[in-house]
Structure 1
Amino acid sequence: FVGIGEGGVHGWQRPTKTMIEVMSDYLVGKDPNLIEHHYQWLYRSSHFMGSVVQGALSAIDIALWDMKGKRLGVPIYDLMGGKTRDRVRCYMHVGGDTGEELAEDALRAKQQGFTAVRFTPFPNDYYLHKSYTEWADEAVERVGMVKDAVGSDVDICVEIHRQMNPAESIWLGRRLEQFNPFFYEDPMLPDSPARMAEVQAQCNIPIATGERFTTIFEYQQLLENGACAYVRPDLCLCGGLSGCKKVAAMAEAQHVKVIPHNPLSPVSTAACVQLDACIPNFALQEYTGESEPPKSVLLVEPLELIDGYLTVPEGPGLGIELNEDTLARIGEDPKVLDTPIGFDGSVQDR
């Protein structure tokens, strides 16, 4: 049996590949059933941890669960408590250089059957703004145009991408309350849960965050501070299916729901669906669209998407089969260092 996994350190493909290769020396010849044991052995084998280590471990964890499901002839969710839903509600990424283009793209997603859309309220050159007022006014206008376009039938999800400091995001959040966003994502850098809790307390909008976190311990701090309404674990970064199932359980104890982060390939999507299918506190699934190459040709049979919902597959393991011919032809998408520089010449957050 062959297990499929994916590691996601968002652009740092080569270090993650190297880490998997280093870990493979330990894994060859071991019992693939001992998923948690192998994670603990590899995670605790060095003084130093971090995103590259966790990205590699996540890929291994997903692959071992896929292998186990195939060996036993059952979906992964059957091995993690059983199915809690038949379909997974998705939100679709939308975008546009102008407010009009953004609203048109959101309307297209609605016409395709999606009942939630996610977008940034800022233009691509957000980092060149000359005043906070100019920046925030444009954001409010763009969000309003999307809301007018999709109406109350579609939830809007606003993504700040950590591009504001707490004071800025609080004031913008208050202005966005009128549009009733489903969530307000990453309104500041995630490295201070206490400060994030202040943003949550002063904005009457649910905050979603956590996509950069690599361990359950970071989520513990986030939840203890009451800093969000939704957690966003990345299955390809935060310990795979095993790690993110733990995050979901921690969140459940705080009445917090789960919106898995998923900017990668259909393998990541398939892993997310397995998690979504077996947790009671699932809210929404990130979906970037898989109808265009290379995503559309990576799997022999794509996951079924109907009216903005992914059908939970019944096949063993992840329920997918890689198209080996396509995989062999896909080249590396190399990391490009393009950190934005602001109007005053200073480094800006992305």
Structure 2
Amino acid sequence: MRWDSGPFGSALYEPHKAVDWTIEAFRLLRTELGPDIELAFDAHTRTSVPDAVRLCRGVEAYRPMFIEDPLRVENPESYRRLRDQTAVPIAAGEQLGTKWQFRAMIEEELIDYARIDVCIAAGFTESRKIAGWCETHFIDIAVHNPIGPVSTAACLHLNLATSNMLVQELPRRPGESLSDVIVSLASVGRWLAVCI
């Protein structure tokens, strides 16, 4: 289960309240859902390093699958500082467009999960290169996919071609988006296979 609602998505963002809200949400969800459901939270790059550290330390006891985008990715030094102060798995990278932009995050193992976005990362070939590079550092991929059924089909092709795939984001159930254009995800997959 991955979520990002609450104070992180509101127009008036108050970091201290947002972090407190998220820690409490983790506590309640873990209590109600038990240990078998994976929990992941997307902070949408809205925390500073101190707030990200407090968030990660605050949810450690609830065993999150990962905290996504706690910081902006343009400055890997921030991720170094965060990595040194928490054991919580970190997912990031959806804003990065090339393997070279992923370089520090992968080489210095600053993330546990790479959020590759096939549509931003120069397509299938560059995404495969990033995923392969991640594999050499034991970093799994959790593919970013906010767009729609064609993007979903491309992401699924990437996942099927990648041994270090953890999870696939699916923002809408199949058939809920562009149903007048895309009959089924299977038909998109067949079309995409021909195009690739």
Does the alignment reach a TM-score above 0.5? yes
Alignment match, 2:50: 167
Q: Which runs of structure 2 are paired with 1:36-55 in the superposition (5 Å)?
A: none
Which of these residues, 122, 130, 135, is aligned with residue 247 of structure 1? 130
Contact map agreement 1:234 1:262 (CA 8 A) in 2: yes
CA shift at 1:292, angstroms? 5.8
Higher relative contact order (CA 8 A, sep 6+): 1
In the TM superposition, residue 171 of structure 1 has moved relative to its aligned partner by 1.1
The two structures have a TM-score, normalised by structure 2, of 0.89
8 Å contact from structure 1 (residues 263, 288) kept in 2? yes
Deviation at 1:168, TM superposition (A): 0.8
Q: Is the 8 A contact 1:121 1:160 kept in 2?
A: no
Residue aligned with 1:208, SS: strand
Of structures 1 and 2, the larger Rg is shown by: 1
Tell me whether 1:148 sits opposite 2:31 in the alignment.
Answer: yes
Q: Describe how 1:1-350 pairs up with structure 2 within 5 A.
A: 117-120=1-4, 122-123=6-7, 124-125=9-10, 127-129=12-14, 132=16, 134-291=17-174, 293-303=176-186, 315=190, 317-318=192-193
Supply the distance in 2 between the matched residues of 1:183 and 1:281 (Cα, whole angstroms). 16
Across the aligned residues of Structure 1 and Structure 2, the Cα RMSD in angstroms comes to 2.2
CA distance, structure 2, for counterparts of residue 120 and residue 317 of structure 1? 30
Displacement of 1:147 after TM fit?
2.1
C-alpha distance in structure 2 between counterparts of 1:190 and 1:127, whole Å: 23
Unaligned runs of 5+ in 2: none
Per-residue deviation at 1:285? 0.5
| Equivalent-residue separation in structure 1 for 2:161 and 2:52 (angstroms) | 34
- Off by >4 Å, runs of 4+ in structure 1: none
Q: Which amino acid aligns with 1:281?
A: N
Q: Distance in 2 between matches of 1:152 and 1:295?
A: 36
Shift of 1:121: 5.9
User: 1:244, CA displacement in angstroms?
Assistant: 0.1
**Is the 1:216–1:247 Cα contact (8 Å) retained in structure 2?**
yes
Q: Is the 8 A contact 1:216 1:246 kept in 2?
A: yes
Q: TM-score, normalised by structure 1?
A: 0.51
C-alpha distance in 2 between matches for 1:246 and 1:225: 17
Report the Cα distance in structure 1 between the residues aligned to 2:183 and 2:120, rounded to whole angstroms.
25
Find the residue that maps to 2:163 and give its secondary structure: coil
Structure 1 unaligned runs (5+)?
1-116, 305-312, 321-350
Q: Give the superposition deviation at 1:202.
A: 1.2
Secondary structure of 1:236 counterpart: coil
Query: Does the Cα contact within 8 Å between 1:230 and 1:259 map onto a contact in 2?
Result: yes
1:209-250 C-alpha deviation (Å, 9 max, x unpaired): 000001110111211222101111100010110010000011
Q: Distance in 1 between matches of 2:82 and 2:46?
A: 14
Instruction: Tell me the SS of whatever aligns to 2:73.
Output: coil
CA contact (8 A) 1:121 1:158 kept: no
> Would the alpha carbon gap of residues 227 and 126 (structure 1) be closer, same or farther in structure 2, given more than 3 Å must change?
farther
Contact 1:266 1:290 in 2 (8 A): no
Q: Structure 2 CA distance, aligned partners of 1:155 and 1:259?
A: 13
Per-residue CA deviation, residues 56-96 of structure 1 (Å, 9 max, x unaligned), is xxxxxxxxxxxxxxxxxxxxxxxxxxxxxxxxxxxxxxxxx
